[in-house]
C-alpha cells in the first residue's frame, strides 16, 4: 500500500507518484474538467467510467493532488490499483487493512480511490459487505471502471448504498478542449443552453477566429481526443503508431476477456465504417458482411456502445420525441481517430470527410443529450429531443434557404464549413463545436 501512496510520508511526496511526475514533465498537458467539478462528500460511492486509454488514472491522481492542497491529512487518502488483486476476498482484506491503519491514526474520514476496480472477480461483494457493515460511513469511495460494469450490470449492484455518490464519465478530449491546447489564444464563448439564439450570438461573435478554428478542426479530424494521440500530434504533427496501437490493443484485450469473436467484431466495425453516415438495418449488415444473424449484429453493436466505442442513433418520432427502434439506426464511432484505427484493422478506407464531420457532431451532442435522427424525403442528421432541436451537417453543399419545422422539433440548425445565416440558422460546425462544452 505504501508504494502506491507516497504522500503518506508527507504531502510534498505526492511528486514521487509516477503518473503525476509524468504528467507534470509533459510539454502537452491539460486538466480534465471533472477535476474541478467532481463532488466528494461522505458518505458517497462514486463511479468513474470511460473508454480505455482515456486517462482515468491520471484524472484520479490529479484529484488526489487537489485534495492534498487542502488541510486533509495525507494519510486519509488511499489509492490502490486493483489489477493486482484476483478476487473480492483480496479486495476485502486490502480495504480492511487500510481501515485498521486509518483507525490507528484516529482519522474519522478518508478518501478511498480504487482504480481498475473490475479486475478482481466479484469485486462488488467486498464493497457491498463493507457498506452494509457500516465500516465506510464517514468515507468517500471513488471507483474507476470500464465496460464490464455495463455488460455485467455490476454498477447496478448497490441500490440504496450510494449515499451522495454519483456517476462520472471521462470522454476523449472534445474539440473545445483540443482547441484550447492547440491554440490557447482563440476565444469562443461557451454555448451552455443549446438555444438557437445563443448559438447564433456566440458563433457570430467568434467569426474573427474562423480560420484558426477551422484549421484546428481539420487537425482534430485526424487525431481525435485520446490523450496519447493528442500529445503525439501536437508534438510531432502526426499521431504516433504507439497511440494507435494502444487503442487497438486495449480493444482486442477486452474482446478476448469477454470471450467474443474477434472476427465478428471486425466485420461489424467494418460495416459501421463503410456505411457511415447512412442509416443501416441489422438484417442488412448480417447479410452483406456475412454475420450469422441480425441478433449477433444487435449484440455486438450494444456491446461496443457499452465499451464506449460507438453510439447508436435511433429514428426519432418528431411528434412524440421518442425513439422508434424498429426503424433503421445510424451508428457513429465516438472519436474520429477510431475511424483510422479500425479502418486499418479492418482493411477498409477511412470514411469521407463530410461523414467524419457528421460523426463528430453526433458523438459530441451524445455526450450531453439523448440523440437520434429523423428521415423522410429529407433528413436531419442529429436530433436532440429534450432541446427540440435538429442539426444538419452541410459540409460540402450549399445551405438551403428554407426553415424546417418537424412536429415538435421547432428548429433545425445547419452546420456548415464556413457559411453564416441567421434565419434559417446556419453556422460553421467548427465554431459551434468550439463553443459546445461536451
Give, in words, the CATH class of 2-169.
alpha beta
**Are 60 and 115 spatial neighbours (Cβ–Cβ below 8 Å)?**
yes
CA distance linking residue 228 with residue 4, whole number of Å: 23
DSSP 260: -
Provide the edge-to-edge strand list for the sheet that holds 167-169: 77-81, 110-115, 139-144, 44-49, 167-169
Q: Which pLDDT score, from 0 to 100, does residue 181 have?
A: 95
Terminal Cα-to-Cα distance of the chain (whole angstroms): 36
Where would I find the beta strands (DSSP E) of 32-188?
44-49, 77-81, 110-115, 139-144, 167-169
Average pLDDT of the chain is 94
Give the span between the Cα atoms of 68 and 77, in whole angstroms: 9
Residue closest to 180 by CA, chosen among 12, 32, 76: 32
Which three three-digit cell numbers place residue 412? 433545425
Q: What pLDDT, in 10s, does the model give residues 46-56?
A: 999 988 889 99
With 0-12 / 13-18 / 19 or more C-beta atoms within 10 angstroms meaning exposed / middle / buried, residue 113 is: buried
Query: What's the rounded Cα separation, in Å, for the pair 44 and 294?
Result: 41
Q: How confident is the model at residue 353 (pLDDT cuts 50, 70, 90)?
A: very high
* Residue 380 φ/ψ region, left for φ over 0, alpha for ψ in the -120 to 50 degree band, beta for the rest: beta
CA–CA gap between residue 224 and residue 334 (Å, rounded): 9
Angle at 24 between CA 19 and CA 26, to 5 degrees: 95
- Break the chain into its structural domains and give their ranges: 2-169, 175-435
**What is the DSSP code string of 13-38?**
GGGG-HHHHHHHH-SS----THHHH-
Cross-strand pairs, 169:
49
Return the C-alpha cell found at 261.
469473436
- At 232 the three-state DSSP class reads helix
Burial string for 321-331 (b: 16+ CB within 10 Å, else e) reads bebeeeebbbb
Q: Of 307, 304, 312, which is closest to residue 280 (Cα–Cα)?
A: 312
As a whole number, mean pLDDT of residues 66-87 equals: 95
- d(CA 159, CA 324) in angstroms, rounded, equals 30
Report the residue count for the chain. Answer: 438
Answer whether 62's CB lies under 8 Å from 35's CB.
yes
- pLDDT tens for residues 189-198? 999 889 999 9
Contact by Cβ (8 Å): 380, 390: yes
The pLDDT of residue 430 is: 98
Output the DSSP codes for 393-423. Answer: EESSSPPPS----BTTB-EEEEEESS--BTT
Q: CB within 8 A of 322, min separation 6: which ones?
A: 316, 385
| Stated pTM of the model | 0.93
Supply 147's cell numbers: 465496460
Quick one: pLDDT band at residue 150, thresholds 50, 70, 90? low
Q: What pLDDT is attached to residue 275?
A: 97
* Angle at the Cα of 23 from the Cα atoms of 20 and 25, rounded to 5 degrees: 110
Q: Flag whether pLDDT at 141 surpasses 80.
A: yes
Of 47, 42, 55, 53, which is closest to residue 124 (Cα–Cα)? 47
**Nearest-CA neighbor of 392 among 408, 406, 413?**
413
The cell for 145 is 471502471
Lowest mean pLDDT segment, chosen from 71-85, 138-152, 220-234, 299-313 = 138-152
User: How does DSSP classify residue 352?
Assistant: P
Q: What is the pLDDT of residue 299?
A: 96
Residue 20 has pLDDT above 80, yes or no: yes
Helix, strand or coil, per DSSP, at residue 114: strand
Q: Which range among 30-34, 61-65, 221-225, 432-436 shows the weakest confidence by mean pLDDT?
A: 30-34
pLDDT above 90 for 149: no
Confidence band (pLDDT; 50, 70, 90) for 289?
very high
- pLDDT band for position 151 (cuts 50, 70, 90): low
Band of pLDDT at residue 257, cut at 50, 70 and 90: confident
228-242, 314-328, 392-406 — which is least confidently predicted? 392-406
Query: Which DSSP symbol is given to 386?
Result: G
Amino acid at each position: 500500500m505504501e508504494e502506491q501512496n507516497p504522500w503518506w510520508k508527507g504531502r510534498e511526496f505526492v511528486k514521487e507518484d509516477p503518473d503525476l511526475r509524468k504528467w507534470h514533465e509533459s510539454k502537452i498537458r491539460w486538466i480534465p474538467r471533472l477535476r474541478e467539478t467532481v463532488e466528494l462528500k461522505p458518505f458517497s460511492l462514486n463511479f468513474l467510467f470511460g473508454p480505455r486509454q482515456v486517462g482515468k488514472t491520471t484524472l484520479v491522481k490529479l484529484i488526489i493532488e487537489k485534495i492534498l492542497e487542502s488541510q486533509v491529512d495525507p494519510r486519509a487518502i488511499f489509492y490502490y490499483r486493483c489489477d493486482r488483486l484476483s478476487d473480492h476476498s483480496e479486495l476485502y482484506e486490502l480495504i480492511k487493512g487500510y481501515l485498521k491503519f486509518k483507525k490507528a491514526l484516529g482519522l474519522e474520514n478518508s478518501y478511498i480511490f480504487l482504480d481498475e476496480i473490475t479486475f478482481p472477480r466479484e469485486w462488488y461483494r467486498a464493497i457491498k459487505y463493507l457498506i452494509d457493515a457500516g465500516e465506510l460511513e464517514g468515507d468517500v469511495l471513488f471507483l474507476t471502471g470500464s465496460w464490464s460494469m455495463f455488460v455485467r450490470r455490476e454498477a447496478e449492484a448497490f441500490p440504496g448504498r450510494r449515499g451522495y455518490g454519483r456517476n462520472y464519465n471521462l470522454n476523449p478530449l472534445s474539440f473545445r478542449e483540443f482547441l484550447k491546447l492547440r491554440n490557447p489564444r482563440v476565444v469562443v464563448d461557451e454555448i451552455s443552453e443549446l438555444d438557437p439564439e445563443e448559438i447564433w450570438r456566440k458563433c457570430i461573435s467568434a467569426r474573427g477566429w474562423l480560420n484558426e478554428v477551422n484549421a484546428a478542426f481539420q487537425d482534430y479530424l485526424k487525431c481525435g481526443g485520446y490523450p496519447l494521440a493528442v500529445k503525439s500530434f501536437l508534438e510531432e504533427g502526426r499521431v504516433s503508431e504507439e497511440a494507435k496501437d494502444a487503442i487497438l490493443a486495449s480493444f482486442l484485450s477486452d474482446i478476448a476477456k469477454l470471450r467474443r469473436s474477434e472476427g465478428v467484431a471486425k466485420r461489424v466495425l467494418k460495416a459501421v465504417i463503410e456505411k457511415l453516415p447512412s442509416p443501416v438495418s441489422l438484417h442488412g449488415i448480417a447479410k452483406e458482411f456475412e454475420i450469422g444473424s441480425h441478433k449477433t449484429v444487435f449484440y455486438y453493436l450494444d456491446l461496443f456502445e457499452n465499451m464506449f466505442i460507438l453510439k447508436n442513433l435511433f429514428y426519432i418520432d418528431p411528434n412524440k420525441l421518442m425513439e422508434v427502434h424498429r426503424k433503421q439506426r445510424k451508428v457513429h464511432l465516438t472519436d474520429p481517430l477510431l475511424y483510422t484505427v479500425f479502418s486499418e484493422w479492418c482493411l477498409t478506407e477511412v470514411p469521407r470527410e463530410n461523414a467524419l464531420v457528421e460523426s463528430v457532431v453526433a458523438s459530441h451532442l451524445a455526450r450531453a443529450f439523448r440523440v437520434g435522427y429523423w428521415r423522410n424525403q429529407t433528413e436531419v442528421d442529429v436530433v436532440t429531443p429534450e432541446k427540440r432541436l435538429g442539426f444538419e451537417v452541410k459540409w460540402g453543399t450549399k445551405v438551403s434557404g428554407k426553415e424546417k419545422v418537424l412536429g415538435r422539433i421547432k428548429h433545425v440548425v445547419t452546420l456548415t464549413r464556413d457559411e453564416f445565416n441567421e434565419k434559417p440558422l446556419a453556422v460553421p460546425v467548427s465554431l459551434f463545436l468550439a463553443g459546445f462544452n461536451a
